[in-house]
Each structure stands twice: as C-alpha cells, then as structure tokens.
Structure 1
Amino acid sequence: MAPTLGATPGFLISSATQAQTSASEPTWRHGLSLFGELKYPADFKRFDYVNADAPKGGVARTIAIGTFDNFNVAVAGIKGSIAPGEGLIYERLMENSQDEVATEYGLLAEAAQHPDDFAWVMYRLRKEVRWHDGKPITPEDVIYSLEQLKKLSPMYASYYRHVAKAEKSGEREVKFTFDAPGNRELPHIVGELMVLPKHYWEGTDSQGRKRDISQTTLEPPLGSGPYRIKDFVAGRSLTLERVKDYWGAGLPVQVGLNNFDELRFEYFRDNTVALEAFKADQVDWIAENSAKQWATAYDFPSMAEKRTIKEEFPVSDSGRMQAFVLNLRREQFKDARLRRAFNFAFDFEEMNKQLFFGQYKRIDSYFYGTELASSGLPEGAELAILETVRDKVPAEVFTKPYQNPVGGDPEAVRANLRESMRLLKEAGYEIKDHKLVDPSGKLVTVEILVDDPGFERISLFFKPSLERIGVTTSIRMVDSAQFESRERSFDYDIVTHTWGESLSPGNEQREYWGSQATEVSGSQNLIGIKNPAVDALIDRIIFAKSRAELVAATKALDRVLLWNFYVVPQYSYPYARYARWDRFSHAELPKYARSGLPSLWWFDADKAARIGKKS
C-alpha cells in the first residue's frame, strides 16, 4: 500500500474477530486488519490515543508549500490541488487506526464483508451519513467515485485497477468484485476510497453552468467531512471551518479529533519565506525540511523565551526512497553502467557535511527505514523467491550485498571517480576534448530539472562531480506548474523524487515500478522501468499469503531495484522536524502518528494567554 492509501497482503482478521470459516457465509465486520486481531472491539467508544474531552475551539494556522488552482480531488495529483485540506472535507469508507499497522474501522461504512478467497468485498453505509447540503450519501455516490477517480487519476487508476466492477447490492450496500481471487489487499484498500457527491458533480453551479468533474475548479466543493471551506485567496490561502452539525462527530473513529474551529493554510513558495512568516507569528507551526535551517535559523527571541518550541517526532509509520531519478525513456540511460557511474560520482558524505551539518544518512534501500529493507546476501525465503527470476536480474543480486559508494575525503572521491570512468570505458564511452561522448560519438548531456530551491542546492553540488567525468550538465529551475507538466509527461533527464513506502507494500508498487505504468501520463513510474523480473516480484508481494512471504518478496524486489541502478539515492532523516508557537496541547501520541498535527491537537487557552499575542 502507499503510505496514505491502503494496506497490503498479510494476515486478515484472526479467528477471534473474523467469525468466518471457509464453509460459512461471509459475516459483517466493524473493521479490517491485515496482521491479526483488531485491537478495538465492535462496541469501542474511541481510540485509546485521543483525548475525548479535548476542548473544541480556536484557530490553527499552518504552512503549505507551493500553490493551488484547484478544489477538484478527482484530478488530484496536480500540485495545484488543495492537498492539505482534502482529507478533512471528503471522507472514506473506513478510517485507519494510528496505533495499529494496516488496520481500519468503519467511517462512512459501518461494516464490511468478504469471502475467504478475497474475490469481492461488500461495504454497508451507515444510515446517518450525509453531505454538507443534508442529502444522504448513497451507494450511487460510492460507485460514481470509483468510476471517476479511476478514469481521471493515473494514481487511482493503477491503485484500483483490479476492481473490475462496483454495483449496488442493497439499500445501503455496495459490492466490489475483483478481477481475480487471492489478492488479500483489495478488500482493505477499497475501504480507503474517497467518496465524492454524484448529485453535486452532475448538477450546476451558482451561475447555472454544468459542472465538469474532469476539469479544475475553484468553486468550493461539497463534502461530508468535519470541515468545509470557509474562504480562500486563490493560490495564497485557504481557511477551513469546523462543521458544527457534522454527522460523524460522535463516531468512535472521530471522537477527540478535529478540535479546531478553523484551520488556516498559508501558501508559500519556499521554506525560507515560510520561516520568516513563522517568526513573525503569521502562522502557528512549521514543518522544517531543511537541515541547514533547523541547525542555524531558529536562534531568535521567541525561541530563547520559550514562546516557540522546536520538537522532533520519530517517523515510524513509513519508509522512503528519495533520489535523483534517471529517466530510462532517454536512450542514454538505458545502459546500467552509465547509471552506476553517476552514483559513483555523487559524493554524498561531503554534501552532507557542507550542506546538512552531517544530519542525514544515505538511503540504501527503496524501503529505507522499515523492516522491509534488504541487507547482506539473500537467504531463506527471499533467496527462494529470487531464484525464480535469476535469469532476469544482475548476477550481483546473489553474490554481493548492495552498498552505495562512500566518499567524504579526497582519496575516496578519486577512487570513486576512477570507478566511474572504468564503467564508462567498459560501456564504450570515451573522453574527447574533456567531454564525455557515447559509443556513437554523441556528446553526453543531462539537464537536472528542479522546482524547489532546496533541491537546486543539491543539484548544484552534484553538477561539478558529473562534469569531472565529462558529463555536460545543466540545471533548470522552473515553477511548480511547469515542473508538474513536464514530470507528468516524462519530459526530463533527471528529477528528484520521493516515493513514500508503507509498512505494508502492495498494489501501489505497480504504479511505482510496474511496466504497465511506464507510459501512463502522471504515473509514479518516473524512472520508466520495464522489467519482467520487477513485475514478477511485485506480483509476489501482492499475492503473498502471509506476512513472512510479504517481507521476503519485498526484500527481493528491493534488491533487484538497487542492483539495476535506476536512481542515485539521496538521503533521509528518521524524524519529522516541527517548530510551533506554544499555544497547543495533545494527548500522548500513538506510534504511527508522527506529529499528529492537526487532528490530535487542540487549542490550549492557558498556554496561549501565557505566551501572549504577536507584537
């Protein structure tokens, strides 16, 4: 599953809560888990980690980096969509628990059922569910949402590609039939479906114009969630207000959450400007992604007076791969030796020292930060899985542990550059007039495309290293809209991208690395991988019959991706960094919540009075 979307093959609900045998009819369940028993029983009142008595009220002002030109989630994936607020306006069939892995409980749906072979799943809507205009949420809305999201969003089209049919099966029931049995993840990820109002999108706006769900719009959308849009300034700010008569306020999955009367999102082009706004008390908290700023830029009066606070929250809910992406759709990157040479040219250790105050670790796995990351040599179940694709993967997969080149001192850097040149010479490249040319005599040139000053810095650091091996290198800084357009059409040599990985990978792996996604505009297969071994290993993940098999298959996939040198891995940090004005409180945060902002926090009037208002 993707970190914000689904879950994955593993164990489904245990006998204690499943109440189902292979000989019995499927029974309705209040929750689904892929790892064993549900923590919370059918009659639970709230999650353990919330404060049921948290006060409601106050305003929280936060930062969004970028801009927006669109309130339409059906064409989400565009950077201009209102990503920070979407999950508060729209709702899903089920809601994830933040103190369990891959476990969800009923939100719009009160229950779900599926057979032992996972050939289909049925969801039953709650009687009381309704849109903000008072109309009931219906099975027709659910079916419409699936159809439109699959049609309009490459991400959803890939994620739900195995949902062959959705049909109304009762007054409040929807049945989803899959294209084949055996995919344990599918019942679960259907519960992650964001539900949209069919009657709204098939109606007309206040000017009498027919709405079009395939187009961007700045008309405030109709939702069903705890918040609605109060006002906005296009591209600059967005204010959500809590819905006072929200239908689901008393649900066990909502008690103690959504405590602010207003959530205000202020949009900034970059983090440097955003920090100045935070220091001036124009926003209440800031997520800091710059190691340099975290180390040097928070020495100001309010921090010394403890009116503002720096805090790091452990990242334990997901992993990541962040890297320079080498676009295999470009002919020059089809040779793995060139790609590997680029990795040897990247002196991460020196960059970490100069730019990041030594705070980062180099990423050495596509599932970095999780138990799914490969290490050492393959053995046991992982080795057995790799044997099935032995003739389709690099020999080193079986004989050498993957390791990134290590630089940081002149001798190591020279050795790495010599290895780069050896690989290039082996592949038929040579230096002419201090420039690298390919076997046909064509000059090797690359453009690194960026839309963020932070990534421009690391690209500028990489550029001289590439030039030392003869690669003619340029860096092009574009605005977010142009970057998104070029990325969606795969019009780049190199970009920086981050793939988030859940603790339970699944169907989204096809969207990331699968051959079918290579030419789908807007897909996350930015590398352009078309590899039958990768496809086969993704299938092993999706159709794993146990957690142990899932882990082994994921490690096998990780190892094959690494040894193909599709990317130049960058860096990661095991904590989420936040600074905030000390006006808020929270209960003890669960393991998989990260910061828990804003849903698990509330406005603390006593703290606010103590620190005073901005000068």
Structure 2
Amino acid sequence: MRFRRLLIFALTLLAAQELAATPSMALGYRPKYPANFTHFDYTDPAAPKGGRLVLPAIGGYDTLNPYTLKGDKEAGIGAMTVESLMVQSEDEPFSAYPLIARDIALAPDKLSVTFRLDPRARFSNGKPVTAADVVFSFDTLTRDPSATPGYRFYYGDVARAVAVDAQTVRFDFKRPNAELHLIVAQLPIFSRDWIPKGKTLADVSMTPPIGTGPYKLSSYALGRQSEFARRTDYWAQKLPSRRGMYNFDRIVYRYYKDETARLEAFKAGEFDLSAENVAKQWARGYQGDKFDDGRIVKKTLPHGAASGMQGFVFNLRNPLFADRRVREALTLAFDFEWLNRQLFYGQYKRSGSYFSNSEMAAQGWPSEEELAILEPVRAKLDPEVFGLAVEPPVSDSRYGVRENLKRARSLLMSAGWRYQDGRLVDKLGQPFRFEFLSYSRTYERIVAQWQKQLAKLGVELAVRVVDPAIFQRRMNDFAYDTTVVVYGASQSPGNEQQTFHGCQAAKTPGSSNWAGLCDPGIEAILPRFQRFENRQQLVSAARALDRVLRAGRYVVPNWHIPYHRAAWWDRFGQPATLPRYYDVTNWAIQTWWAKPGN
C-alpha cells in the first residue's frame, strides 16, 4: 500500500510538471507573444533570401573556437553557427521562446527546469539534437578548465544537467534562483561530435563548433577574413522565432587594424554597414558625395536598451588604488564637460549609473525598498550609500576643472600623499605613477586631457597602446592599472553581476571583475539578483547595488548615448519596425535582406 501511494504521488508530480510546460516564459511578467504567434514584430516574414552582407571587425583572430579562454576570437562563429535552447525576443525585457527546445517547465519548488527538445532540430552535420548533446554542452562549458570562466559563474547555481530521455533534459539547481531557468534557456548547444573523446576545448581551437545555427563557416583567412554560407537545410527557418530572419546567402567579416582604416574602407565600399562608436568620426568622417547623393545612408537609430557603465576602471589589485579617497581624487580630475564640447561634438550624456538609461539606476534618496536591502548590511557600507545617490563630478563652464582639482588635492593629502619637488609622493617618497592600457589610439586624445589635469596634481599617467591580442592577454591576467571597460546592463540584471563584482570572480583570470572588487557589503547584496519574486524586487536590488558601487568610485564614469549611430550602403531592405533592445550589427544580420540586384 505504501509503495502504491508513493507511485501515485510520483505520477501526480510528473503530471503537474507536464502541465507546467509552456512554449514561452518571461521574467516577472506575461510574455508578449502568444503560443500561436507567427513571427516577431520586428521581422518581415516575407523577406527574400539571397545576396551578401559584408561587415567589419577590429584586430584579428587566431582561433575558431568561441568558448576558450585563450585566443582572439573570430567575430561571427558563436552567433551564427551555434544556437541556444530557447531564443530571447528583442522587444521585451527577458522573454524566452521555442528554438531547440519546444517548451520549458519550471518545477513548483523552483529547484529544477525541464526542456523538451524539438525532434526536428538538426546539427549542421545532419544529426539530430539529443538531450545527451545538451548535457555535453553544459558540462563542457562549466567544467572544462580551458573554457572561458564566465560560464562557470553564469551557471554557477546549476548542480547538474540530466538527460531524462533522448528528447528531454532537466537541469537541477543548488538553490532557488529567480532567473536561472531562463538563463539555462540561453545555453549554447553544440554536438558531442565536435570534441573527440578525451580532448578539451583547447584541443579544437581551429575546429569550428558543430552547431544548429543558420550558417556554416565556409572559408577563412586567419586574422584577415571569414565567410559564412547560409544553410539551405536549416531546420528552424519556418519556426515563428526564426521566420523572416537570417536572409543573406553569405555573410563576410573583414578585419581592420584600427578605427581610421575601418572608416576609410567603409567609404571605399569594402564593407556594407558601419556602426560608429567614435564621436569625431561620426561628426566629421561620414561626409562626402556618397552621403549627399544617397548611396550611403547615415542615421541615428533610437533604442530602449540599458547602457550600463562605461568607464576607466581602477584595478584594486594594485595597492595604489586601495583608498577610496584616492579613487575619488582621480575621478575629480576627469573633465567630461570639456571633452564633450571639444572632442565629442556634444553627442554624449555622462554615465552616472551602472544601469544608465534604465529604471534600474538609483536616483535621489534611497526608497523604503532599497533601505530594506541596505540596512541589514549598514555596518559594511560607506555611510555615503545612505545619502543622495552619488553623481559624477561636474566641471564649471567658466573655470573648468579648477575647483574639482582643489577638492582632489585635499583628498590626496588626507590619504597620506604629499608633494616633493613638484611630484606627489607617498610616505616612502615613491611617486604617484600609473598606466592607462588601450588597444586603440582613439583613447589617446581622450586620456590626454585627463593626463594633463592629473599632472597638475603631481600625478604621472602614462598611456600605452598595444596590439589587440596583447591587450586581451593582459586583460585576462588583470595586468593593468586602469583601462576602459563596459559593464553591460541587460533589461533584467542577474547572474552577470556576480562576474562583474563577486569575490570569486575577482580571483579568476579571464573573468569580468576588472576592478578586482571583493567587498563584504556588495557580496551580501549580490544574492538578491537570484532571489526575487517580481520585477519590482529586482529593480530595488539593482538600485541598491548601484548606490554602493557609485559610492565606491571604482571607475571614472564615461558616457553613453540613447541611440545607435549607423551608416550603410543603400542596397538593403529592413523591416518597418525596429526592435527595442538591439545591437545594430546583429539587427542587420538577423532581419535585413538584399534589395533585388544586390
């Protein structure tokens, strides 16, 4: 009798899980698209197939493996040849729709998630996708020592992946995590055939992954060019989440050593689309007959994406930056207002938040919800956290950064620094000297102004520009004093905050904890990004973390713009509706098509 009751209970539980399966799921809200949707609103299901799109990339590459820690990655392989279990729409904060997995079921206790695979899913070698391939992909990315460590952090709360049967896979969690089921849905899936038994990711650095994506790598010239051919046998081309997408027969990447060479190549017609990040080039470089007569289209494209934080990060692994007063002083010497007038043509807004251009950004005094998060760890936080949200310093339009430099000098004196022979020195007489590392000469003229103001404080800043490959190695090894980084912000921040700011990431080479940040107050707040019941709780957690990070002065805040700057040769069609959260290059790859005759 007892066995019979247990069996009935088990069957009831399985039935409940089966009933919980749904073709889409969103984080804290109802998905926009119903189960019977035919295509995303920002695509055109009637888009024709054919033609070619040529894109630029900076630097070079020496590996065809997008998942290894070592090596400079080829630009397109990961996005165009490998797909995830489900796909995220680009007009919602965080919603997942069917792709390799046809549905998703979150356990009632939120300690596991189950996916049933689409039996039509095929790898580029023609073999079907099985649960064993999904388990292999997860285990490889999270356990292979040669894999980029970000995957271990991102999926850190996943205990194991289990092949329930050939078409069903379950992920068991170590603890409840509000977004983990949707994060798992983003897992890239590749075939077990890609990596020979007994080998690692490092052993297949020049073997492209076997994925389910719409393209295959057709040819390449190492470090100079790569070309992808559309798969005519692409299994998902009629799925609603893929209809009207990936329309080009060929996509080509051409590599350029610097931004100036890239722009001149674009105007010469060597590639088709330029997403511009340099204000001076946008203001002065995109001019001439080809723009005037319409052969090249130049546009600013609005978007609703969070801008995150771009800034000059202080590497706390260097004792020079251990004192918050020192970091604040160096920040006061950065004259954004002058740069925006003189170099940026007034195009930018200052980034005051790690969640700029988003509802996640802290403003004014802490709300009751934020205080409920901050008060339990008050003893571990700077008192400034409980005041008005810290804003970047502003220079006077008439006197420039003079008053800020006075404040900076006082801060440096209080931190134990003194002047000797016109230089700022410590108690042992060692000068205050550090280096700014970059792979692009674009930042030389920007940092030059900061360099000039720091010199007035007796601080020596050297600027070193290195080859992109050397730059990446030094970033992986945290071998820098300061450099420019971007703390990317999604519409639903989550596990990536651990990789940005967590103690374990600070000790892991190749992680995104560029500041080397390991703070007990922050460490106490980070779990809030895994444990929330609704979107408002997530917003409050982000705002609370934002206050703490801003008070710490771990970066010199840079700037952002609430639109994309792009130009393209007028030989392409585009859907009538823009996505809301998108990258220009991916938008073109996914939804554009070649006009007849091109």
Q: Same fold (TM over 0.5)?
A: yes
* 1:482 shift after superposition: 0.9
In 1, the alpha carbon distance for the partners of 2:165 and 2:208 equals: 32
Instruction: Tell me the equivalent position of 1:389.
Output: 377
Paired AA for residue 109 in structure 1: A
Paired AA for residue 163 in structure 2: K
Query: CA offsets, 1:307-332, max 9 Å, x none?
Result: 11101112312322111110100111
Instruction: Tell me the equivalent position of 1:193.
Output: 187
1:300 matched to 2:295? The reply is: no
List aligned pairs for 1:133-212, cutoff 5 A: 133-151=125-143, 152-181=147-176, 183-202=177-196, 212=200
Query: CA offsets, 1:545-595, max 9 Å, x none?
Result: 221111111101000000011111111111111100010111122322354
Aligned residue pairs, count = 580
* 1:224 shift after superposition: 1.6
Secondary structure of the equivalent of 1:487?
helix
* 1:441 shift after superposition: 2.9
* 1:74 shift after superposition: 2.4
Contact map agreement 1:131 1:224 (CA 8 A) in 2: yes
1:263 matched to 2:257? The reply is: no
In 2, the alpha carbon distance for the partners of 1:161 and 1:396 equals: 32
1:349 matched to 2:340? The reply is: no
Instruction: Tell me the equivalent position of 1:613.
Output: none
In 2, the alpha carbon distance for the partners of 1:259 and 1:509 equals: 35
In 2, the alpha carbon distance for the partners of 1:122 and 1:352 equals: 50
In 1, the alpha carbon distance for the partners of 2:94 and 2:571 equals: 32
Secondary structure of the equivalent of 1:222?
coil
Secondary structure of the equivalent of 2:462?
strand
In 2, the alpha carbon distance for the partners of 1:282 and 1:364 equals: 38
* 1:393 shift after superposition: 1.2
Secondary structure of the equivalent of 2:308?
strand
In 1, the alpha carbon distance for the partners of 2:71 and 2:553 equals: 28
Out of 101, 104, 107, the position equivalent to 1:109 is 101
Instruction: Tell me the equivalent position of 2:512.
Output: 524
* 1:171 shift after superposition: 2.0
Contact map agreement 1:319 1:503 (CA 8 A) in 2: no
Paired AA for residue 589 in structure 1: L
* 1:431 shift after superposition: 0.9
Instruction: Tell me the equivalent position of 2:592.
Output: 601
Secondary structure of the equivalent of 2:205?
coil
Instruction: Tell me the equivalent position of 1:240.
Output: 228
Out of 415, 432, 436, the position equivalent to 2:424 is 436
Q: Normalized against structure 1, the TM-score is what?
A: 0.91
Instruction: Tell me the equivalent position of 2:301.
Output: 313
Question: What 5-or-longer segments of structure 2 have no aligned partner?
Answer: 1-11
Instruction: Tell me the equivalent position of 1:42.
Output: 35
Aligned CA-pair RMSD: 1.9
1:414 matched to 2:408? The reply is: no
Instruction: Tell me the equivalent position of 1:376.
Output: 364
Instruction: Tell me the equivalent position of 2:8.
Output: none
In 2, the alpha carbon distance for the partners of 1:79 and 1:342 equals: 33
1:579 matched to 2:572? The reply is: no
1:589 matched to 2:578? The reply is: yes
Query: CA offsets, 1:491-523, max 9 Å, x none?
Result: 111111111100110111000001111110001
In 2, the alpha carbon distance for the partners of 1:42 and 1:405 equals: 49
* 1:466 shift after superposition: 1.4
Contact map agreement 1:67 1:79 (CA 8 A) in 2: no
Contact map agreement 1:93 1:109 (CA 8 A) in 2: yes
List aligned pairs for 1:403-552, cutoff 5 A: 403-409=391-397, 411-552=399-540
In 2, the alpha carbon distance for the partners of 1:116 and 1:408 equals: 57
Question: What 5-or-longer segments of structure 1 have no aligned partner?
Answer: 1-19, 204-209, 609-615
Contact map agreement 2:327 2:554 (CA 8 A) in 1: yes
In 1, the alpha carbon distance for the partners of 2:479 and 2:203 equals: 23
In 2, the alpha carbon distance for the partners of 1:546 and 1:93 equals: 24
Secondary structure of the equivalent of 1:275?
helix
In 1, the alpha carbon distance for the partners of 2:235 and 2:14 equals: 37
In 2, the alpha carbon distance for the partners of 1:499 and 1:96 equals: 20
In 2, the alpha carbon distance for the partners of 1:424 and 1:227 equals: 56
* 1:43 shift after superposition: 2.7
Q: What is the identity percentage for the equivalent residue pairs of Structure 1 and Structure 2?
A: 38
Contact map agreement 2:54 2:252 (CA 8 A) in 1: yes
Given the superposition, is the C-alpha separation of residues 410 and 78 from structure 1 closer, same or farther in structure 2, using an over 3 Å criterion? farther
Given the superposition, is the C-alpha separation of residues 57 and 251 from structure 1 closer, same or farther in structure 2, using an over 3 Å criterion? same
Secondary structure of the equivalent of 2:590?
coil
Q: Normalized against structure 2, the TM-score is what?
A: 0.94
Secondary structure of the equivalent of 1:605?
coil
